[in-house]
A and B are shown apart, each in its own frame.
Chain A
Amino acid sequence: DAKTTQPTSMDCAEGRAANLPCNHSTISGNEYVYWYRQIHSQGPQYIIHGLKNNETNEMASLIITEDRKSSTLILPHATLRDTAVYYCIVRVPPPSPRGFGNEKLTFGTGTRLTIIP
């Protein structure tokens, strides 16, 4: 799996958009970008994933650069409940055309996002 680089911590004012960057300069063509978050003392929560097109769901938007070497997770109107550690992960999800993909998720240390009232 390609390695990712994220800032250690970020603050965002409540009600503003939170933009969390992730660098994955060694990403390969068949690797997807996944985002998870982990609220204190809970299990990780899936947020969104994408390959090369921008994606949006009810939780967030994912913007992937054209060269796919970086991406940004956007929480459009951050609330206090969005305070969490956010993990950016790149992987080939199973099943790949050649059989199994990379089954496990490889987490880094993530970005600790604090929403300020």
Chain B
Amino acid sequence: DTGVSQDPRHKITKRGQNVTFRCDPISEHNRLYWYRQTLGQGPEFLTYFQNEAQLEKSRLLSDRFSAERPKGSFSTLEIQRTEQGDSAMYLCASSLVPSGSLETQYFGPGTRLLVL
């Protein structure tokens, strides 16, 4: 257990529905990352926050995706009008920058999404 938690762990939804995932980072960590992982591939970066500011978004993050970190603590990732291609594992990671040593990202267990 890295201290990063994600909820729910599994989600099954029908195409067209909206879903929201939550990530709780390690409490003192100011950075929070979202990644997506499809079967057989490594995780791919989606976006990251420094405190409450969203500083970078990948091209993978289409208009249907939105992420928030309103108070610089937990974060939510929402997918609107889900498509079957959104089926994947959604991973959250957190880190502390600067930390006095090299930045290390710690991952949560992920939320596995299946869109029917």
Contact = CB atoms under 8 A, between A and B. Distances in A.
Interface of A: 32, 41-46, 49, 85, 87, 93-95, 101, 103-110
A85 B58 CA distance: 24
A109 B102 contact: no
B74 interface: no
The DSSP consensus for interface residues of chain A is loop
The DSSP consensus for interface residues of chain B is loop
Interface of B: 2, 4, 31, 33, 35, 40-45, 48, 55-56, 58, 91, 93, 97-98, 102-110, 112
A110 B107 contact: no
A9 B45 CA distance: 24
Contacts of A32: 102
B33 A109 contact: no
24 contacts: A32-B102, A41-B110, A41-B112, A42-B110, A43-B91, A43-B93, A43-B107, A44-B43, A44-B107, A45-B107, A49-B104, A85-B42, A101-B103, A103-B31, A103-B48, A103-B56, A104-B56, A104-B58, A105-B33, A105-B35, A105-B93, A107-B42, A107-B44, A110-B42
B102 A87 contact: no
Contact of A43 (B97, B102, B110): B110
Contacts of A43: 2, 4, 91, 93, 107-110
A30 B106 CA distance: 22
Nearest to A85: B42
A103 B55 contact: yes
A44 B93 CA distance: 9
